[in-house]
Amino acid sequence: MAIEKQPSCDDPQEPDLLPVAVALARMQEQVKTVSESKQVSLRESLNHVLAKDIISPIKVPAYTNSAMDGYAINSADLPSGDVERKLTVLDTAWAGRPVDIVLKPGEAVRIMTGGMMPAGSDTVVIQEHVALDGEHILIDGSTVAGRNVRHAGEDINTGDIVLRAGTLVNPAELGLIASLGIDAVEVKRCLKVAFFSTGDELRPLETHAGKKLSPGEIFDSNRHTLFALLSREQVELVDLGVVPDTREATTAAIQKAADVADLVITSGGVSAGQADFVSESIAELGELTFWKLAMRPGRPLACGVVNDCRFFGLPGNPVAVMVTFYEFVLPTIKAMMGCSTTDTQLFSVKAKESIRKVPGRIEYQRGIVEVDDNGEQTVRTTGKQGAGRLSSMCLANCFIVLPVECDGVAPGDLVRVRPFFGLV
């Protein structure tokens, strides 16, 4: 008698696999942004989301100043073409030390970058373009009227909305707010995120670091990966340790987590195995949306809510944890924080070697973008792509994102990559 086979994560084309984009859109619909905000000092606001617009109380630049080291003149004194004109240098305007002078025709002021333009001047002739002649300078007509001057308010005007509520404060935003003289910022409160690992095979480092494992045991690494991923965000962490594979323990842990946190993240126990209780527990305590996703790694993903607490049951395989975190958990965290933008840019790069892939699921292969001997940027995989090989994430500097329909990549084909590195 032939065995009637059930769908499994080995099947590239299960009929009921949900496309990642559809799952992401559904997830975004369900997200609720935290409503509470708090006032913090500027430096504390780093990595937080602005709860209110930042409105400039001043002009930037605050005063009209020189963009170069040179001589402030009135453009009416510029001769035409190669004709030279002699101007009398009255004084020096240093940055922070303006001169109290009103320029008259035939006069100039030595000026440094950032120095305030004296009254009567509108142009700076850079120092490299003048000839010195005692108390005088010689200029020609090569400087365009109005050049090398930064006008008061040309970057920001008083009353301008400089940053919108929903902006994530990164270094550039932090500096910009400082440039306005603002040191207290209203930001969304931090999310509280609880997380735990599930699995009878797991031994926590807290009790077993350096110890010999018994057959069938492994160290719990996912909880540390999640700790590290979450620590990059402005969230408060609640680490609930390792939970054994029983329905009672899983339900109790989820209940405890949901009582204290805005978001709960678990790993393991969401497949169809007989020791997989996470989905059942969520369904018992709240509402469960379970997705079998058309992605690899990361096919099983449990989402849900328990009271007001959002829940993610990530798969147990260590690489799947990272992929599903970046694809699903991170955008959810950002949205819950009230962040209006997420940065998930993909770039096209030439494949250096062929890449095996069967159609049916989007794949996040671990890749290395590098410059080849011809100076061209190419990408190759890190080698074997098993979802348990966390070392592949350490070797990689990008995900190679191969779309559902892709049936393999030939050398020289363009593939999409999502870099791990980013300037923020």
Residue ranges that bind ligand AMP, judged by CB under 6 A: 197, 199, 201-202, 218, 220-223, 267-271, 273, 315-318
- Tell me which residue has its CB nearest to ligand AMP: 316
CB of 15 to ligand AMP, least distance (A): 22
**Within positions 1 to 40, which residues make up the interface with Mg ion, using CB under 5 A?**
none
**Which residues lie below 8 Å from residue 331, measured CB to CB, with a gap of 6+?**
24, 27, 28, 342, 344
Site string for Mg ion, 55-94 (x = CB under 5 A): ----------------------------------------
Ranges of beta strands (E only) in 57-200 are: 65-66, 70-73, 85-93, 107-111, 123-126, 131-133, 136-139, 149-150, 161-163, 184-188, 191-198
- Assess 268 for contact with Mg ion (CB under 5 A): yes
CB of 47 to ligand AMP, least distance (A): 26
CB of 201 to ligand AMP, least distance (A): 5
Residue 54 structure tokens: 């930042």
Which amino acid belongs to residue 265?
I
CB of 293 to ligand AMP, least distance (A): 14
CB of 53 or CB of 200, closer to ligand AMP: 200
> What's the CA gap between 361 and 294, in Å, rounded?
4
Q: Which does 115 bind (CB under 5 to 8 A by kind): ligand AMP, Mg ion, none?
A: none
- Asked whether the beta carbons of 286 and 304 are under 8 A apart, the reply is yes
- Asked whether the beta carbons of 190 and 235 are under 8 A apart, the reply is yes
Span of 164-172, 246-254, 316-324, 411-419 interacting with Mg ion by CB under 5 A? 316-324
Q: Which does 201 bind (CB under 5 to 8 A by kind): Mg ion, ligand AMP, none?
A: ligand AMP
CB of 298 or CB of 316, closer to Mg ion: 316
Cα-trace Rg, the chain: 30
Q: Which does 66 bind (CB under 5 to 8 A by kind): Mg ion, ligand AMP, none?
A: none
Q: Which does 267 bind (CB under 5 to 8 A by kind): ligand AMP, Mg ion, none?
A: ligand AMP
Which amino acid belongs to residue 219?
F
Q: Which residue has the tokens 């559904």?
A: 26
CB of 321 or CB of 369, closer to ligand AMP: 321
The secondary structure of residue 328, as a DSSP letter, is I
Question: Cα 23 to chain center, whole Å?
Answer: 21
CB of 324 or CB of 382, closer to Mg ion: 324
3-state helix vs strand vs coil in the chain, percent to 5:
20, 35, 45
Q: Which does 222 bind (CB under 5 to 8 A by kind): Mg ion, ligand AMP, none?
A: ligand AMP
- Cis ω on the peptide bond leading into residue 105 (within 30° of 0)? no
Question: Cα 73 to chain center, whole Å?
Answer: 46
> What's the CA gap between 31 and 328, in Å, rounded?
12
CB of 129 or CB of 208, closer to Mg ion: 208
CB of 187 to ligand AMP, least distance (A): 32
Start-to-end C-alpha separation, the chain: 60
> What's the CA gap between 254 and 226, in Å, rounded?
17
Query: Binding residues for Mg ion, how many (CB under 5 A)?
Result: 4
Q: Which does 315 bind (CB under 5 to 8 A by kind): ligand AMP, Mg ion, none?
A: ligand AMP
- Assess 315 for contact with Mg ion (CB under 5 A): no
> What's the CA gap between 240 and 235, in Å, rounded?
15
**Within positions 185 to 244, which residues make up the interface with Mg ion, using CB under 5 A?**
199
Q: Which does 218 bind (CB under 5 to 8 A by kind): ligand AMP, Mg ion, none?
A: ligand AMP
CB of 295 to Mg ion, least distance (A): 19
> What's the CA gap between 194 and 191, in Å, rounded?
10
Where does 141-221 have alpha helices with state H?
Answer: 171-179, 205-208
CB of 77 or CB of 220, closer to ligand AMP: 220
CB of 199 or CB of 338, closer to ligand AMP: 199
Provide the binding-site residues for Mg ion, judged by CB under 5 A: 199, 268-269, 316
